[in-house]
């Protein structure tokens, strides 16, 4: 089981996340992060080995929070189609509440960073797809399969969710992912 981050590490991740929430934010540097926190870069390096480690921790935290939300819905909602709808809504609403995560999950914050970070984000997206796939199967909507054994519905929902996240980033947080949610899900057959 991974070690829980210290309060100082959490403060660093919150500062990093708040920098990601700035609509026109460019590439984040450790110098800018240290300045935001009124600390030296050396103080950051006491808690993380580098910027890559900070991003890894933030991605891991985002993954844990999203999967916990999806699991909570899965255990409390017995109607499979309603469960799927609520899980999709949770994915959209999560980035509305935490806009910086939209930049992480779409990869826009990771341009020019270590390729391993994009692999980590892809692992998060695969885990999310796995959770949606379970609900898709329970709803009896899981065929035919795509190349990676996910149903076409799961694949389509993931593409739509990621598109809504991307639009949120590109609009500078103006085009909310959950806008017209019910109408859009009807078009998707849910």
Chain segment 62-117, per-residue pLDDT in tens: 999 999 999 999 999 999 889 999 999 999 999 999 999 999 999 999 998 999 99
| Dist. CA 124–CA 146, nearest whole Å | 19
**Domains by residue range for the chain, with CATH:** 51-187 (1.10.357.10)
* DSSP conformational letter for 110: G
* pLDDT at position 158: 96
| Dist. CA 151–CA 144, nearest whole Å | 6
User: Average model confidence (pLDDT) for the chain?
Assistant: 90
User: pLDDT tens digit string along 105-164?
Assistant: 999 999 989 999 999 999 999 999 999 999 988 877 655 555 555 688 889 999 999 999
């Amino acid at each position: 089981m991974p070690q829980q981050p210290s309060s100082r590490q959490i403060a660093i991740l919150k500062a990093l996340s708040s920098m990601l929430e700035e609509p026109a934010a460019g590439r984040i540097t450790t110098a800018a992060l240290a300045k935001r926190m009124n600390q030296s870069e050396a103080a950051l390096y006491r808690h993380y080995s580098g910027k890559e480690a900070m991003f890894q921790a933030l991605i891991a935290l985002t993954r844990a929070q999203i999967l916990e939300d999806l699991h909570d819905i899965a255990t409390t909602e017995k109607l499979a189609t309603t469960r799927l709808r609520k899980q999709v809504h949770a994915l959209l609403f999560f980035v509305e509440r935490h806009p910086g995560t939209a930049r992480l999950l779409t990869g826009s914050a990771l341009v020019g960073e270590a390729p391993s970070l994009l692999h980590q984000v892809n692992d998060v997206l695969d885990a999310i797809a796995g959770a949606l796939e379970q609900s898709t199967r329970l709803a009896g909507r899981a065929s035919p399969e795509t190349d990676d054994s996910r149903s076409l519905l799961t694949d389509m929902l993931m593409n739509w969710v990621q598109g809504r996240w991307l639009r949120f980033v590109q609009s500078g947080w103006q085009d909310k992912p959950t806008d017209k949610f019910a109408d859009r899900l009807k078009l998707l057959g849910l």
